[in-house]
Structures are given as structure tokens and as C-alpha cells.
């Protein structure tokens, strides 16, 4: 079934059905990711996922010429979690910038970004996730070859290796659930 062929049947909400997001859970009921309804339909139709029956679950009706499908707000993968093979990526410009949200970790600038070793390499600092941060050219040259405590500069966040994307998503998901229940 082609995604373009899907005709959105609008039930109760003002949003077009195909703009809704579906939360995918792993086989072990861990929330993994939020996907758009077209991808959810593909997973359901190909048997790679099933509906998760939460009592408050909202269902959206999606129609194609040959089929009417109820798509719930939560679905669960029926096979193993493909993300389990994820490994912490090697320290690279691209991955560090991504972790730091493309923001200088000293001043918050998003321009002229470079990599900075918190403990300079000349002083034995390693090229590791907990010693490499995104820094703009200005902050990088201001800090120079000094240790952090020899400057007046402060790191906005403590650098650490990126989390497994599913764990990061689950973390955020439960936080949101909690705040919407309060
Ligand atoms: Zn900066």
C-alpha cells in the first residue's frame, strides 16, 4: 500500500489524521520512538507491529482503496529490537556537535564551531566523550592551552557519551507522561 494512497478519515480531532504521531514500543514494552502515522500503518500492515491496547488509547481511521485500518496511538513491535546493536559512536566532529546541539558549551554561540579538549591534549587530555566539547572559535582561542580552573570559563553541561537513542527517547517519554498526569 502506497502512503500517498491513504485517505485520511478524520474522526474527532481538527488535525488531519496523517499528521498524528504514533509511539512505537519495543517487544519488551519500552517506548522507542515517535513515528508518523504512515510509518505506523506500514508496520501494522506488514505485521511488524501490533496495536497496544491501552484503555485510553485513541484510534485513528486510515483508509486506502482496499482497506480501512484503525491505527492506535501506541503500537508494539512484534520482533526483536533492531536498535540493540547500537554502539556509542566514536568521538567525531559531527557526533560531538550533535550531542551538544550545535552549541558552544561555554558561551552558547551556534556559529564558527570547533572541538575543544577540556583538558588540553598537551596536558594529557584524551580524545574521549567526557573530554571533548563543542566550542566556538572565540571561546576555543580564549581558553587556549589552559585548564578550565585556570580560566573564568564554565561548561554549560558536563560532557558525556551520548545515550542509546531509545533510552534517550524513553527518558523523555516518561517525563512527558509524568508531567501530563500531574
Ligand atoms: Zn563560545
Q: Give the tens place of pLDDT for each residue, 114-155.
A: 999 999 999 999 999 999 999 999 999 999 999 999 999 999
CATH architecture, domain 93-150: Orthogonal Bundle (1.10)
Q: Hey, where are the domains in the chain?
A: 3-79, 93-150
Residue whose cell numbers read 508518523: 36
Ligand 1 centre to CA of 75 (Å) is 42
Q: Using CA atoms, how far apart are residues 23 and 84, in angstroms rounded to an integer?
A: 18
Distance 136 CA to ligand 1 centre (A): 4
Nearest partner of 135 among 122, 126, 144, judged by Cα: 144
Contact 106, 148 (CB under 8 A): no
Ligand 1 centroid to Cα of residue 168, in Å, is 26
Digit-coded pLDDT (tens) for 54-91:
666 678 888 877 778 888 889 999 887 555 667 788 99
Cα of 96 from ligand 1 centre, angstroms = 15
Q: What is the pLDDT of residues 42-63, one digit of tens each?
A: 888 888 899 987 666 678 888 8
Cα angle, residue 96 at apex, residues 93 and 101 outer, rounded to 5°? 120
* pTM as predicted: 0.56
Amino acid at each position: 500500500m502506497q502512503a500517498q494512497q491513504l485517505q485520511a478519515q478524520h474522526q474527532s480531532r481538527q488535525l488531519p489524521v496523517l499528521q498524528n504521531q504514533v509511539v512505537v514500543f519495543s517487544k519488551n514494552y519500552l517506548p522507542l520512538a515517535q513515528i508518523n502515522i504512515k510509518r505506523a500503518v506500514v508496520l501494522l500492515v506488514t505485521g511488524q507491529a501490533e496495536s497496544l491496547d491501552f484503555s485510553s488509547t485513541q484510534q485513528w481511521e486510515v483508509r486506502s482503496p482496499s482497506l480501512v485500518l484503525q491505527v492506535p496511538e501506541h503500537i508494539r513491535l512484534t520482533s526483536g529490537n533492531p536498535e540493540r546493536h547500537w554502539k556509542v559512536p566514536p568521538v567525531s566532529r559531527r557526533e560531538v556537535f550533535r550531542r551538544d546541539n550545535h552549541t558552544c558549551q561555554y558561551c552558547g554561540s551556534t556559529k564558527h564551531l570547533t572541538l575543544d579538549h577540556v583538558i588540553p591534549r598537551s596536558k594529557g587530555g584524551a580524545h574521549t566523550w567526557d573530554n571533548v566539547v563543542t566550542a566556538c572559535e572565540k571561546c576555543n582561542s580564549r581558553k587556549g592551552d589552559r585548564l578550565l580552573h585556570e580560566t573564568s570559563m564554565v561548561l554549560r553541561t558536563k560532557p558525556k557519551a551520548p545515550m542509546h537513542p531509545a533510552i534517550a527517547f524513553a527518558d523523555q517519554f516518561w517525563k512527558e507522561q509524568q508531567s501530563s498526569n500531574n
